[in-house]
Structure 1
Amino acid sequence: MKKWIAFGIALLVFVPFYSCDQEETVAEPYLVVRFQFDPNQVRLNNLGQPAAVPSGHAAQSPTFNTIGAHYLELAQNANTQLGQGLVVYHAPETNAGGATAIDFNQSKIVAEGAVFLKIPLRTLAQGTYEWVRVSLSYQNYGISVRHAGADYAGTLASFVGYNTYITSHAIGNNFFAVDGNRTQGYWAFALNDFPYSSSGQAPAGATTVPNPLAATSPIPAGSCVVTGKFPVALQITGNETRDIELTLSLSNNNSFEWVEVVSDGKFEPAAGETVVDMGLRGLLPTFEK
């Protein structure tokens, strides 16, 4: 019994000593970036103004599977020129196809709500930022297609970056060999349950890229740098102890648009209806600290 009492006293003495000897580990705070899609968000035009579907056109709000972006910037104010803000991310580019292009093979592509970027806050410049600019490069989403009076589900891969070098890409079991650059508006389509696929190119300059700062801070033609303002300015102080969770909400409100031949609001490629616009229709950035 005396031995057990002695052991218990020794244990009580040891445990507090051991506990005090431990160093507390504080997790490093990050900027964590995610995408979300909202078919009810306002549908904007290139100037960031509300826009209806034009007469003679029709559109649908696609169901997003994944998205890719190759550039992310925080801008201090409405006069901050593109590239002069805090560039948080710039994806790999290549000259393998001739002109400089986004390297699709190295592109980061994620589903809604998944972490797109996770960057230590200590590596970012302190400051106050009112705007976000994100250059979108790739969209993969579900659409409905009508043929011979029946509706079919299909998947569209939409390349909206300024220029993309693609060796090949796939939609399900459908493979598309490209081996070259494709400018903004290249797309490929496949039916989900039938052996049919196709690809094409939307007209140059037809892709909508909302930029409410067009008058004070324009973007290059053919780019897909979507601009949005924080409801409350984001401050990076350098004293953060918790992550900053940045959500980029993109409007897919009737974002897949085509020229109508049969006026029924259904996308009917066999009737000669052609894709004209695949641009997302607005950016609403929000954050939590």
Structure 2
Amino acid sequence: MKKIVALFILAVALFSFFSCEDVDDKSEERYLIVKFKFDADQVRLDNLGQPSILPSENGAQSPNFNAISAHYFELAPNAYTQLGDGTVLYHAPETTEGGEVAIDFDQSIVVKEGEAFLKIPLRLVTQGSYEYVRVSLSYQDYNISVRNNGADYQARLASFVGYNTFINTHFIESNSFPINGNSSQGYWAFALNDFPFATSGQAPTGLTTVPNPIASTSPIPAGSCVVTGKFSKNLVINGNENKDVVVTLSLSINKSFEWQELTTDGKFEPAIGENVLDMGLRGLIPTHSK
């Protein structure tokens, strides 16, 4: 009899344990998680989202990315959704400390490939079907190759492609770059690895590539860096998700660091006056898992 009672108590305890576990599992918060991926083999696009060939007078590299930041993220239902009329899920802090409104670099979220850039409770995401993603890229940190006097060196470059960025002081390894003001789209700085040399510059206005395949129906402002990409299958948020939704933003870095060639050798040689022209990402392919 005692054995039967003991078994009954054990069964009740196990039932209660698993029942509570089920309840806890159902009540657990679910998130929309946004991550970045960098792909040097992804198609290289122009501002209209069409395949782009490197001009013969320019040189370019597919850089080796360390980190990236963005200051805006939006889900758009269709190609006619105007910028800002979709579900805007992130807008980074801005400041007027430098005069005009600018991205506050000190408060930017900077992540590596595969790290969570955003983690938003799904209950805060408007339910619906989304065909496009729009993300405004602002900062890139990557490695490039630099030539000087016939020798090749590795360098680390900081690239600011946002519309306008307020920077106090930014660093590349032990090298400091005090700005204490706004930097317009195209500001860059680099430092050689293992050699005491660092410099900075400014790419020409209006040359930063920002692919937007729906430019004819949903344009973006000039000078912004709002890259647009289409899901192969719409992202549907219905409020019944029982696990996290991960959106991966695959960015084309296919020859995304571009300069004007003075010596046609495919080598970036700033010492002879070769200037950076374009540091814009070359396309966005978003995917999602549910």
Instruction: Name the SS for the 1:17 alignment partner.
Output: helix
- Matched with 1:247 is 248
How far the C-alpha of 1:19 sits from its partner, in A, is 2.5
- Matched with 1:158 is 159
**What is the correspondence of 1:102-251 to structure 2 with a 5 Å cutoff?**
102-251=103-252
The alignment's C-alpha RMSD in Å is: 1.3
1:279 partnered with 2:274:
no
- Matched with 1:30 is 31
How far the C-alpha of 1:18 sits from its partner, in A, is 2.4
Q: What CA distance in whole angstroms lies between the structure 1 residues aligned with 2:153 and 2:246? A: 38
How far the C-alpha of 1:55 sits from its partner, in A, is 2.3
1:21 maps to which of 16, 30, 51 = 16
Q: Structure 1, residues 182-241: CA drift from partner, whole Å, max 9, x if none?
A: 110011100011010001111111110001111111111111000010111111111111
Q: Structure 1, residues 21-80: CA drift from partner, whole Å, max 9, x if none?
A: 331211322111110010010100111110111121110100000000010000011110
- Matched with 1:66 is 67
Q: Structure 1, residues 118-174: CA drift from partner, whole Å, max 9, x if none?
A: 111111100111000000000000000001111000000000000111111100010
Q: What CA distance in whole angstroms lies between the structure 2 residues aligned with 1:234 and 1:14? A: 47
Letter aligned with residue 38 of structure 2:
F
Q: What CA distance in whole angstroms lies between the structure 1 residues aligned with 2:132 and 2:15? A: 46
Q: What CA distance in whole angstroms lies between the structure 2 residues aligned with 1:180 and 1:234? A: 39
Unaligned runs of 5+ in 2: none
Q: What CA distance in whole angstroms lies between the structure 2 residues aligned with 1:11 and 1:195? A: 76
Instruction: Name the SS for the 1:109 alignment partner.
Output: coil
In 2, are the aligned partners of 1:28 and 1:241 still within 8 Å (CA)?
no
In 2, are the aligned partners of 1:246 and 1:286 still within 8 Å (CA)?
yes
Letter aligned with residue 203 of structure 1:
P
Q: What CA distance in whole angstroms lies between the structure 2 residues aligned with 1:18 and 1:65? A: 51
**What's the TM-score once normalised by structure 1's chain length?**
0.95
Q: What CA distance in whole angstroms lies between the structure 2 residues aligned with 1:54 and 1:219? A: 25
- The runs of at least 4 consecutive aligned structure 1 residues that moved more than 4 Å come to 8-11
Q: Tell me how many residue pairs correspond in the alignment.
A: 284
User: Which range moved further: 125-134 or 13-22?
Assistant: 13-22
User: Which range moved further: 79-88 or 19-28?
Assistant: 19-28
How far the C-alpha of 1:256 sits from its partner, in A, is 0.2
Letter aligned with residue 18 of structure 1:
A
How far the C-alpha of 1:282 sits from its partner, in A, is 0.2
- Matched with 2:264 is 263
How far the C-alpha of 1:15 sits from its partner, in A, is 2.5
Instruction: Name the SS for the 1:110 alignment partner.
Output: coil
User: Which range moved further: 246-255 or 89-98?
Assistant: 89-98
Unaligned runs of 5+ in 1: none
How far the C-alpha of 1:11 sits from its partner, in A, is 4.8
Letter aligned with residue 118 of structure 1:
K
Percent of pairs with identical residues: 63
- Matched with 2:95 is 94
Instruction: Name the SS for the 2:29 alignment partner.
Output: coil
Q: What CA distance in whole angstroms lies between the structure 2 residues aligned with 1:11 and 1:152? A: 74
Letter aligned with residue 278 of structure 2:
D
